[in-house]
Amino acid sequence: MKPETLIISTALILLPAMARGQNDDFSRYVEQQEAAFSQYVDKTTSDFRAYNDSINREFARYLAETWPDFPLTFSEPPIKEPVPPAVYTPEPDSLPQKEQPLPAIEPVPEPVPPVKPKPEPEPEFTPDPPAVETIEASFYGTPVQVKRGNYSLPRLTAVDEQSVAAYWTNLSRLPYHEIIANVNGMTRQLQLNDWGRYQAINTLFGTYFPGRSSNEQTVFAVFMLNQCGYRARIGRASGRLLPLIAFGCEVFNSMYFTFGDDRGTRYFVVNAERLELKSVQSCRMEYAGTTKVMDMAIPVAPRLAPSPAECTLATAGGTRYRLQYDDGYNRLLATYPCVSMQIYAEAAPSEAFVQGLEMSLKAAIQNKPQREAVGVLLDMVQNGFRYKTDADQFGYERWFFPEETLASQYCDCEDRSFLFTRLVRSLLGMDVVLLYYPGKHVATAVHFDDPAVKGDYVTHGGKKYVVCDPTFIGAPVGMAMPGLGKLEIIPLNN
């Protein structure tokens, strides 16, 4: 055998052994890196929880100090003197034959909250292994399995500073990270927005601590919101505790105070019973590190257990359409405060609502020209409901989401406009804006592909929008209610 052959043969014998050694070294390296990363995650999580615990201890000391009085400001509702519905009397030619631009005020953007540092992402929710014992919580009729917790929490016996501080300390001694993990899990599973997350917190409080008082629930909810990074506070008024929450949109018909200077944070009183308040007492300090304001938009409908219900709407000619809404979704929507109009008009519909449109209305407008199809929807909304102002129905301004309008016996101008907007966008995919006549009225305007569609109109973003008023009974596309003066255009996210 030649020397060269011997060297090559030896190398061939050694290569597999060297490869095995290298594989073993790489495997050990991977295991070492995984172990190091696991230790890092454990330490980081431990450090984070220790940091949170220190913040909670410090904040409890502030809670024990005397709470100052914060005078409240009332956020006026946009509709103060609603214009009653008018009945259109057609002229010899009932369809508008000329274009008439309406006097419009350029839309004023809502105040944008001060830019805050981007919060750290929340820890990913990891489902418990099947062996972990669970209990069932009910979220607006939807059963949700959550981890069973044998939590011991002393009662809140009074609403003075010392009692609230002691209760906060007791909450911080709970394994509250487990509860937050359940909240995050419910939020993901049910596709909830920020307001839904807040309601999930309240749901879990009732699940883990049944029979407790509303004062205890308030402290618990604010505690959990703070741990999740939301700006929220505990307020005290009329001998009870109330949540104070910072929102990322306008909130009308509610009381608030501004913490800090004029550009500080607005905290709104979540006051479901509508107590008449002039001021509220609250801790002089904010919870450290909170940066989130509550986003009330509903970009996707929550994934709730189906609970469809039906209603029937009729046109002027007597044609009847059976539509659907989801009762569980409506019960969640009913907890909303009165927020920006765009949120109502843009809210994602439930599956029941979409199916109802498919079964009933879609065939009625299919293959029709845009103007004729929009006219069918306008006729149905104009004539399908009885009119009653919010003041007459509730004693205060309260707006309906589109599906709430379907479930109600009565509605007014903004409710009809939100519903009509949803119908046009869902069924026809057309661009719509809201028309707000300050203090008086809300209507809509639709952008048609055919520029020859005539009538009263407004322009926005270089596009023409033809007026469609769901409260001007019998008025066709392109006919605005007269005598209302200047209007503001409220664009929607399309």
- Which ranges of 384-457 does DSSP label H, i.e. alpha helix? 390-393, 402-407, 413-428
Asked if 450 contacts 371 with a C-beta cutoff of 8 angstroms, the reply is yes
DSSP state of 36: H
246 closest CA partner among 273, 278, 282:
282
DSSP state of 488: E
How much is the pLDDT for 35?
A: 61
How much is the pLDDT for 125?
A: 43
55 closest CA partner among 163, 181, 164, 171:
171
DSSP state of 413: H
How much is the pLDDT for 103?
A: 77
**Per-residue tokens: 226:** 């703070």
Q: What is the pTM of this model?
A: 0.84
Reading across the β-sheet that carries 240-245, which strands appear in turn? 69-71, 279-282, 232-237, 240-245, 265-269, 254-259, 73-75
DSSP state of 357: I
- H or E segment at 473? strand 472-473
289 closest CA partner among 356, 248, 232:
232
**Per-residue tokens: 177:** 């990270």
| Cα separation, 385 vs 395, whole angstroms | 20
Q: Is the Cα dihedral 15, 16, 17, 19 positive or negative?
A: positive
**Per-residue tokens: 215:** 């004062």
402 closest CA partner among 429, 381, 373:
381
Contacts by 409-415, CB closer than 8 A, 24 or more apart: 410/385, 410/386, 411/385, 411/386, 411/387, 412/79, 412/82, 412/387, 412/388, 412/471, 413/79, 413/82, 413/83, 413/85, 413/441, 413/442, 413/443, 413/470, 413/471, 414/79, 414/341, 414/344, 414/442
373: left (phi over 0), alpha (psi -120 to 50) or beta: alpha
The β-bridge relationship of strands 472-473 and 232-237 is unpaired
| Cα separation, 89 vs 293, whole angstroms | 48
In one letter, which amino acid is 433? V
Provide the residue ranges of all domains of the chain, joining segments of one domain with +.
86-112+299-490
How much is the pLDDT for 102?
A: 82
- How far, CA to CA in Å, does 138 sit from each of 191, 255, 305? 15, 31, 10
Per-residue pLDDT of the chain (494 residues; tens, 9 = 90+): 444 444 444 444 444 555 555 566 666 666 666 665 555 544 454 555 676 888 999 999 999 999 999 999 999 999 989 999 999 987 655 556 567 788 777 554 444 444 444 444 444 444 444 456 999 999 999 999 999 988 999 999 999 999 999 999 999 999 999 999 999 999 999 999 999 999 999 999 999 999 999 999 999 999 999 999 999 999 999 999 999 999 999 999 999 999 987 789 999 999 988 999 999 999 999 999 999 999 999 999 999 999 999 999 999 999 999 999 999 999 999 999 999 999 999 999 999 999 999 999 999 999 999 999 999 999 999 999 999 999 999 999 999 999 999 999 899 999 999 999 999 999 999 999 999 999 999 999 999 999 989 999 999 999 999 999 999 999 999 999 999 999 999 999 87
Q: Map tokens 């009183």 to a residue.
A: 269
Looking at domain 86-112+299-490, its CATH class is alpha beta
How much is the pLDDT for 41?
A: 46
How much is the pLDDT for 53?
A: 87
